[in-house]
Amino acid sequence: MRRRSRLSWIGLRLFGILAPLSIASPALAVKDVQLFNLTNISPVTRVGTYPTGDNAISLSTVACNIGTENVPWLAPMDEDHPFIAYSLYRLKNDRIEQLGRSWVKHTFFVNGASLCGICSDSGGTYLAVNCSDTYSNSANSNQFYLGPREEVDPYTGLWEACGSHFDGVPVDCLRNHGSTGHGPLDHRMVVNDADLGNADATYFYEAMIIVRDDVNAANNLGTRRCTMTWFGSSWAFSTPAADNPFTPGPAVATRWLTGGANQLVASVADPGTVYLASKATDLGGGNWHYEYALYNYNYTRRIRRFSVPLPSSATPSNIGFRDGDTTPGNDWTPSYDATCEAIVYETDAFDKDPAANALLWGYLFNFSFDAGVAPTTARATLVPYLPGAGQSELSIDAVVPTPAACLVGDVDDNGVLNGFDIQAFVEVLLNPPCDTSRDFCAANVQSGDFAIDAADAVGLAALLVSP
C-alpha cells in the first residue's frame, strides 16, 4: 500500500509539472477570412441602346482576417491567393432570380487597413491578422484578373495555374493571357436593361470570397440591398444606408422566404453545400403553384438534374425554368418520369457533354410548375454532374406535391398484405427503385432510414405475421 501511495504521489507531482506546459501550449494557427462588408455597386460600362442594352456591373468588397494566421495574397500565376465572385438578384413576383454573375476575381495585393480590428501590418503579399482589405469596383471588374469559375475548387480553394485561362497559348505555366482581346462585357457581371429598375422589384447584390484552408466557409459570403435609376445614358446605383445592413449568408437563404406556411429552406453537403428554397402557393380550386430556387454554394461536382415527387394522377402545367443567362439553347429539359413518379429537369451528363450547362458554384437556377395536388414536405433529388468521390444522388428536403399514398408492406400492389409481397420485396431489395416511387414507399417498412435493407425485411415479416 505504501509503495502504491508513493507512485501515486510521484504521478501527481509529474502531472503538476506537465499540466501547465500543456495549458501554455499555443493554439493551432488557423486561416479565417470573413467577408466583412459590401460597400458599393455601380456600372462599369454598357453596350447597346436603352431599353435593350447590356450593362457590366461591379461591386466593392471588404475582407477581414479574423483568424490567427496571415493569409497569402499572391498574384497569379502563384496559386495561393483568395478568389472573389459576385452576383445580382431580383425579388419579383414572389420569386428570387439571379440576374447576372461575374467570372471569379483572382486577388493579387493587399492594402491592409483597420476596418475590423487594429491592423499593424499593411501586408502586400498577405492579409495579416486583424487586418482588412478592400477591393474596389474597378479592381473586381479588371479583366486582367478575371478567370473562369470552373477552374477554382470552391470547397478547397485550390486552383491550378498550369493550363489555366491565364496560361493561354502555349501551355507553359507562364502568364500568356492578359487584358487584350476582350470585349467590354467579357467575363464581367452583365445584366440587361429590362431586368433593372423594375418598380415592383427589390434588388440585392451578393459576393463570396474563397480562401484555401479557410476554417469557416460560412462567413465567406453575404448580401446588401440596392436600388438603381436610369439617367438618360447610364444607370445610377445606390446602396441605401437606412435599414440595410450587410447580411451574412447566401441570398437564397436570407432574402426570399419568411418562414411561413408551405415554405422551406434546406441544404445538403457531400462535401460542399447546395441550398434549395421551396414554396407552394394556393391558387384556389385545388391548384397549387410550386416554386424552387436551387443554389450551389460550394459544391465542386455541380448539379445536372433536379427532380420533385409528383403523383401520376397529377398533370403539371405552367412549367418554368430560368438559369440567369440569355441562351435558351442550354436550358434544362423538363419531363415526367412515370417510374419514379417525379417531374424532372436536367441537362446532359458530363460524359455526353463536358460543357453542359450544369449548376456551377455560386449559380442559382429557378424551377416552377402548377399542379392540382396539395403540398407536403418530402425529399427532392439532385444528381451531380462531374464524376468524383461522393454520392451518386443527393436528397434534400423540400415543399413538394403530396406523393400518392401506399399501403406499407403491399410491395406487389394488390391491395393486401400476403406472401406474394415477399417475392416482390426481394426484387425491390435487389433493384432499389426511385425513393419517390410507390414501390419504394411500400417496401420501405422502416421508413425512417430512407433505404431498402434488411431492417425492412424484418419489418415486412412482422407485418405479415401481424398485419
- The 10s digit of each residue's pLDDT in 88-108 is 999 999 999 999 999 999 999
1 — pLDDT class (breaks 50, 70, 90) = very low
Q: What is the pLDDT of residue 467?
A: 64
Q: What is the pLDDT of residue 434?
A: 86
Q: What is the set of domains in the chain, with CATH numbers? A: 33-252 (no CATH), 259-401 (2.60.40.1170), 420-465 (no CATH)
**What grid cell was written down for 27?**
493554439
Q: How far is C-alpha 327 from the geometric centre of its chain's CA atoms?
A: 22
Q: Which amino acid is at 268?
A: V
Q: What is the pLDDT of residue 179?
A: 75
Helix 420-430 and helix 454-465: axis angle, to 10°?
A: 170
Tell me if 160 sits within 8 A of 147, measured CB to CB.
Answer: no
Tell me if 450 sits within 8 A of 444, measured CB to CB.
Answer: yes
448 — pLDDT class (breaks 50, 70, 90) = low
**22 has pLDDT over 60:** no
| Range 409-419 average pLDDT | 91
| Range 142-149 average pLDDT | 97
438 — pLDDT class (breaks 50, 70, 90) = confident
First to last CA, the chain: 65
Share the mean pLDDT of the chain.
Answer: 92
CA dist 202 and 193 (Å) reads: 15
446 — pLDDT class (breaks 50, 70, 90) = confident
**What grid cell was written down for 115?**
476596418
| Range 446-462 average pLDDT | 86
Tell me if 201 sits within 8 A of 91, measured CB to CB.
Answer: yes
* Between residues 17 and 180, the one the model is more confident about: 180
Q: What is the pLDDT of residue 8?
A: 39
437 — pLDDT class (breaks 50, 70, 90) = confident
Q: What are phi and psi of 59, to 5 degrees?
A: -145, 165
| Range 425-450 average pLDDT | 86
**155 has pLDDT over 90:** yes
Q: What is the pLDDT of residue 3?
A: 40
Q: What is the pLDDT of residue 296?
A: 98
HEC-encoded secondary structure of the chain: CHHHHHHHHHHHHHHHHHHHHHHHCCCCCCECEEEEEEEEEEEEEEECCCCCCEEEEEEEEEEEECCCCCEECCCCCCCCCCEEEEEEEEEECCEEEEEEECCEEECCCCCCECCCCCCCCCCCCEECCCCEEEECHHHHCCHHHEECHHHECCCCCCECCCCCCCCCCCCCCCCCCCCCCCCCCCCCEEEEHHHCCCCCCEEEEEEEEECCCECCHHHCEEEEEEEEEECCCCEEEECCCCCCCCEECCHHHHCCCCCCCCEEEEEEECCCEEEEEEEEEEEECCEEEEEEEEEECCCCCCEEEEEEECCCCCCCEEEEEECCCCCHHHCCEEEEECCCCEEEEECCCCCCCCCCCCECCCCEEEEEEEECCCEEEEEEEEEECCCCCCCCCEEEEEEEECCCCCCCCCCCCCCCCCCHHHHHHHHHHHCCCCCCCHHHHHHCCCHHHCCCCHHHHHHHHHHHHCC
CA dist 386 and 351 (Å) reads: 9
Residues 6+ apart with CB under 8 A from 188: 44, 56, 57, 58, 102, 103, 141, 143, 146
- The 10s digit of each residue's pLDDT in 37-70 is 999 999 999 999 999 999 999 999 999 999 999 9
CA dist 440 and 214 (Å) reads: 41
| Range 418-424 average pLDDT | 92
**380 has pLDDT over 90:** yes
- The 10s digit of each residue's pLDDT in 258-288 is 999 999 999 999 999 999 999 999 999 999 9
Tell me if 442 sits within 8 A of 452, measured CB to CB.
Answer: no
Q: What is the pLDDT of residue 425?
A: 92
Q: Which amino acid is at 458?
A: V
The strand pair at 221-230 and 235-238 is best described as antiparallel
* Between residues 291 and 441, the one the model is more confident about: 291
CA dist 363 and 392 (Å) reads: 21
Tell me if 141 sits within 8 A of 101, measured CB to CB.
Answer: no
Confidence (pTM): 0.91
**Inter-CA distances, 424 with 128, 407, 418, 445, Å:** 64, 14, 11, 13
